[in-house]
Structure 1
Amino acid sequence: MVKTAVMSLVPLVLGFVTVYGSLVDDLRDCLPFLPRTQYVKSYNDVCLFLLKRKLTWNDAQSNCSSGGGRLVQIQYQAKQDFLYNTLTAMKWTDWGVWIGATDHDSEGTWKWTDGTNLTYGFWHPGEGPAHGFLFSKAGFEDCALMRLDDSGRWRDYDCGSILHHHTSVCEYQKVKESTSYPPKTTTLPTTTVPTIPSSPSTLSTTVRQTCPSFHPEASLVQYYKKSCLRFVIGDKSWNDANAECISQGGLLLQIHSQQDQDFVYQSLKSLRWSDAGAWIGATDRDGEGHWTWTDGSPVNYGHWNPGEGSYHNTTNENCAMINVDDGMWYDYNCGSVIYNQAYICQYRL
């Protein structure tokens, strides 16, 4: 009876392992710069970084390779199932995810980005190798996208078109703990995130007397290291957010250490921040690749997503945002209305 019951659990356990890779997601052998969050998954000899920022396939591959990785390679059904089930379990917000298959070097000859041939595919009928010149646009659709709305099947799309911006998955080879790359550990700050009243009028007397006048859009104010931090949920471009902070005697937030980073990220998470992120004061608009704070001081600490910031020499993306999902920094256009975000002002006391 007991043996029968135990044996009946085996398929259930094996199914769980197939979906989640292991009962405990062990990230010890992942590269140190990868964040230890729900967006990094361990799978066999690689670490998978699930990226929510929407890019073209070309930019997504460049983003992965800048950190020593590549767009994910799916060589067999078990890995396909793992990735698809992981993304659907996370309620992934995009219906498409770029993977590393492409035939841009030779139409109909599909390879991974490292040049190896595809020996496995999960193509939608008529896509991939079967999507030849009988179809008028086949010669321009050279990069593979996993469609979550099609049971994870792959389809081919244009690699560089602005019409096809999607999320992506990078994969990085694991390193052993015995190498010179110890696992990254994060020490949470000792500063306690206080419970903040819902409106400026109900703030404590000390805060009301010390911090400058509050804009009606301010949702939160906190003391931190002799500064008043004001979290604002109103959407603005980086330029407008910076101007608004300056107009009240402050500046967009500066983050100088891991402790500062952890405090800000934990504050955003505790607020259940509704926006994708918040503008901070880092910019390279005065010199591409030379990141400074708005007061002209250099950015000596950074928490950039791989391929962003100093590694992302794109002339029209010159201002930094902290992402609320993973805490990483991303660079975006400073003035475009399509990138309007919440922001954080800092007032030094």
Structure 2
Amino acid sequence: MRILILLLAILAPTLSQEVNCPTGWTGNQITGSCFLLVKESLDWETARRKCESIGNGAVLATIHTSQDNKFVKDILAKESSIPFAAWMGGTDFYNAGKWMWTDGTAVSCFTDWDKGQPSGIYDNKTEDCLAWWKGFSWNWNDVKCTAKLSSVCMIPVNKCGNGWTEDPVSRTCYKILDDKNDWETAKKSCASLNAELASIRTYQEYMFVRDFLNPSDEQNFWLDGNVAKDGSWVGVPMAPQYL
């Protein structure tokens, strides 16, 4: 049985942290993320590739927090040369109605859709890509992916280290170990890494872990928690029906 490990030592960054971004990028002092406005008019896929070609882990912006969303909207509001909209890294092209970020997580923990959005279609054209829209006060709008727009690149913060995956909302770190062990041995394996078996505290964490494990993967994974003598669950802070 494969093991899911949760490292609890990674916390959200403080308000006073210093952000070191590459030259030309703007850093959000609250979240630690770096942003770059690309004024060139590109379709969504070209914009995605352009951001990733920059290096330093840059991606077409994936917005998981209200702080990063407001930060970018403030940048766009001050930039008069952006006529219509700016791409971010969300799409439902591969599964209509299921919006996903390019980092593989669902567009669900935080959203800023304008009223009536996403509409799915406009002027008989399917709208499968996500953008900040000037006419909606820079709220989110779904747009046809072939539209030529400006875009926002982002270097997200990941303090987890190699081999770990960070939940950008809770700032906790996850890792899968392929060793097949019983539950007690799994806990000891986690402890040897200064970590714990995963303990799901919120619905948002549950959604992130579910997407991280890949719903198509038929293998099972240990979580923290066991049953006490009185039948109650120990170490399971979230309702067991979600797990």
Residue identity in the other structure for 1:147 = W
Unmatched segments (≥5 aa) in structure 2: 1-14, 160-243
Change (3 A) 1:151 1:123: same
Secondary structure class of the residue paired with 2:41: strand
1:115 is matched with which residue: 104, 124, 128? 104
Distance 1:174 1:73 in 2: 11
The answer for the alignment partner of 2:130 in structure 1 is 144
Relative to its length, the structure with more helix (as a share) is 1
Q: What stretches of structure 1 move > 4 A for 4+ residues in a row?
A: none
The answer for the alignment partner of 1:41 in structure 2 is 26
The answer for the alignment partner of 2:40 in structure 1 is 53
Structure ID, larger Rg: 1
* 2:157 maps to 1:171: no
Distance 1:82 1:106 in 2: 29
2:59 is matched with which residue: 37, 53, 70? 70
Change (3 A) 1:79 1:175: closer
C-alpha deviation, 1:94, in angstroms: 2.7
Alignment of 1:217-236 (within 5 A): none
* 2:82 maps to 1:93: yes
Higher relative contact order (CA 8 A, sep 6+): 2
CA contact (8 A) 1:147 1:153 kept: yes
Alignment of 1:104-253 (within 5 A): 104-119=93-108, 120-128=110-118, 131-132=119-120, 137=124, 140-159=126-145, 161=146, 164-173=147-156
1:199-220 CA-partner distances (Å, limit 9, x unpaired): xxxxxxxxxxxxxxxxxxxxxx
C-alpha deviation, 1:70, in angstroms: 1.1
1:130-176 CA-partner distances (Å, limit 9, x unpaired): x257x7746x31101101232111111121x2xx2111111113589
Worse-superposed segment, 51-60 or 140-149: 140-149
The answer for the alignment partner of 2:176 in structure 1 is none
Secondary structure class of the residue paired with 2:83: coil
Change (3 A) 1:153 1:71: same
Distance 1:171 1:85 in 2: 15
Secondary structure class of the residue paired with 1:90: coil
Residue identity in the other structure for 1:42 = G
Change (3 A) 1:158 1:167: same
**Considering only aligned residues, what root-mean-square deviation do their CA atoms show, in Å?**
2.8
Secondary structure class of the residue paired with 1:155: strand
Residue identity in the other structure for 1:165 = K
Change (3 A) 1:174 1:114: closer
Distance 2:49 2:67 in 1: 26
Distance 1:54 1:42 in 2: 23
Unmatched segments (≥5 aa) in structure 1: 1-21, 177-349
Residue identity in the other structure for 1:155 = N
Distance 1:71 1:137 in 2: 26
State the percentage of identical aligned residues.
Answer: 29
CA contact (8 A) 1:84 1:148 kept: no
Residue identity in the other structure for 1:41 = T
